[in-house]
Amino acid sequence: MKLKKLFAGVITGVMVVGLIGCGTTSEKLQKKLKANLEIVELRDYEDGTIKDEFTKEEYEKVRKQCDAANRANFMEIKTTYGNENGQRIIDALKKRVQSVEYEIIKKTDERDLISFVIKSQAVDGTKLDEMIENNINEYSKADNFENKKLEEIQKDVADIIIRAYEEAPTKETENTVIYTKKDGAWNPNSNFNNITEKIYIAE
């Protein structure tokens, strides 16, 4: 599995929650968007601004969708590297997702359309995969590699992956999120999931 694909998968299995009434201002909508991104980052309910913008019920509904979307990939990671090492990789992945810096800037504010530009320092996905592949190849060529036990290899490779998540360079990205009002409710782009992926990881 490409670890870049796993990284992207974590942040695209989320549906937007919480339609907003007709009295919404762009400032309120901007706060809602930030909280929604914090859910995308798999943060706990009490972390960040989520609890200020979403009910616990809304949050738990989306987290269940996240967990269901990620279950197969996370299971594959644990099967490949062992439960303990797999969980370390997953924890490192979440930590890197949550460390991505971004700024939400209002772009347009019209009667039935509000848009925001999100400038972020996304993880360079191509460099991430290159780092992991090159370091694993180098590791496998070591003189004592064939004498290592499976458990030792799993731990060492997990360490390589975790280090790559920590050290992968970033790319500056700009993505636009557009909300349109219909029947008194504001809804984001239909491709919101694809946009969120680009906020956190860049080709």
The one-letter code for the residue type at 117 is: V
pLDDT digits (tens, 9 = 90+) for 168-184: 999 999 999 998 888 87
Structure tokens at 125: 């996905």
pLDDT digits (tens, 9 = 90+) for 8-62: 556 654 555 445 554 568 888 899 889 988 988 889 999 999 999 889 998 888 8
pLDDT digits (tens, 9 = 90+) for 77-122: 999 999 999 999 999 999 999 999 999 999 999 988 999 999 999 9
Q: Write down the pLDDT at residue 132.
A: 94
What are φ and ψ of residue 12, in 5° steps? Answer: -115, -5
Please choose, from the candidates 95, 85, 74, 87, the residue with its C-alpha nearest in 3D space to the C-alpha of residue 157: 85
Average pLDDT over the chain reads 87
Q: How far apart are CA 17 and CA 12, in angstroms?
A: 14
Helices (H), 3-141: 3-10, 26-40, 50-53, 56-81, 83-99, 125-140
Contact 165, 135 (CB under 8 A): no
Contact 145, 139 (CB under 8 A): yes
pLDDT over 50 (residue 67): yes
pLDDT over 50 (residue 187): yes
Q: How far apart are CA 108 and CA 134, in angstroms?
A: 44
Single pTM value for the model = 0.85
Structure tokens at 199: 């906020």
Q: Provide the CB-side half-sphere exposure for 76 (13 A, CA).
A: 10
What are φ and ψ of residue 166, in 5° steps? Answer: -70, -35
Strand-pair partners of 179: 114
Q: Calculate what percentage of the chain has a pLDDT beyond 90.
A: 54
